Structures are given as C-alpha cells and as structure tokens.
Amino acid sequence: MEKFISISGIAAPLPIQNIDTDMIIPKQFLKTIKRTGLSEGLFYEMRYDVDGTKIEDFVLHKAPWDKAQVIIGGDNFGCGSSREHAPWALLDFGIRCVIATSFADIFYNNCFKNGILPIHLPQEQVDQLMEAAAGGMDVTVDLDAQVVRAANQSFSFEVDPFRKHCLMNGLDDIGLTSEKSTLIDAFEDKNKQQAPWLYRNAA
C-alpha cells in the first residue's frame, strides 16, 4: 500500500448528500477482484448517460478536476452496501482523500485499509473547502500534522493514531502481519518441536 504522508493538488467538489457505494461503483463493475481498471466505472451513472455518452459537465470530466486527488463530498458519504470496490475505484482514479461531514462506517473503515484518508470536518469548514475546490484551488492534506489547508485557511482534523501509523507507513493488513514475521517464524519453529505431527504432511 502506498504511503500517505502529505498530498497537495486539485480537489473535486461533489456537493451531494448520501453518495452510496452503488453510485461510487455500480454493480456491473463488481465482477473483478482486481484493484486496477475500476476507475472506468467510478461514478459511472453520473459520468455517462444511458447510451454510454460522456456527460461533459460532470466535474471529474472537466479540467482541472479530472486530475483530482481529493474529493470534497456531502454528508453520509459512502453509505449503502458494503463493497471494497468503492475505495478501489477511487484509488484507481487517483483519489487519495475524501473530505465530508460524515461517512458510512464500513466505507470509512475500507478507505483506511486501502490507502485512502477519509476526513470528517464540520459543515462550515466543508463548505469553505467546497468553495475553494470549485474555484480550482489546490488543497493540501497533511496527515502528519493532521491539517487541511486551502485558500489561506487551515483546518485541523482527528484521526485514530493506529490508522494514522498504518497510512503513513503504507501498512495494510498483510503489511501489518509481515511486520511480525520474526515472531511468527519463532512461534512456528517452537511449535514444530512441540507438535511435530502437525507438520508431517507439510510441503
């Protein structure tokens, strides 16, 4: 997982409440277990009409927001069904951070596990960031300092220390387990001596 320490770039304003996971990545794109290529389906029904024609005025189709690394969203972002494809699609597009007043719990947790930083801020601060994003201003998200900066404004945010550690060190669940490889190997060596019959048919 790619480390997240600080990013600075374009933020896309998406002032819609209750953006659910089916809006983020519709069900027809869930056939794959690969994490790449899913950006094609990101917000598909908002980006294309029923004939598959690009909706040119959708924010992620317009410069400079087509290169956005941050989304400023509405309340209850990521609600709906549990699908890890939603953060996968955001990440494949290049989104590393979502800022909103609130998030659905499962989506919020899945973001951290996939290298995306979800930040919840008060409505007034989200409104100010939404305005800055609509104006094409850069937004800086500094996880180390726990601060969002834009348009000469600075907003602090809270984040769980353990999740912060994982993001800043690029540790997903597999990475966290790998950190304990020495202890795991030591346990396995000891266990082989104490219960050798468990390993007789091991390759």
The predicted-structure confidence for 80-95, as pLDDT tens digits, reads as follows 988 899 999 999 999 9
Higher local confidence (pLDDT), 202 or 51: 51
Q: Place 198 in a pLDDT band, splitting at 50, 70 and 90.
A: confident
Residue whose C-alpha is closest to residue 92's, from 64, 129, 60:
60
Higher pLDDT: 192 or 132? It is: 132
Q: What is the pLDDT of residue 96?
A: 98
| Host domain of residue 126 | 6-171
Give mean pLDDT, residues 183-187: 73
Q: Average pLDDT, stretch 106-116? A: 95
| 10 and 103 part of one domain | yes
Query: What does the pLDDT read at residue 137?
Result: 93
Residue 1 domain flag = no
| Within-domain flag for 86 | yes
- Confirm whether 61 is domain-assigned: yes
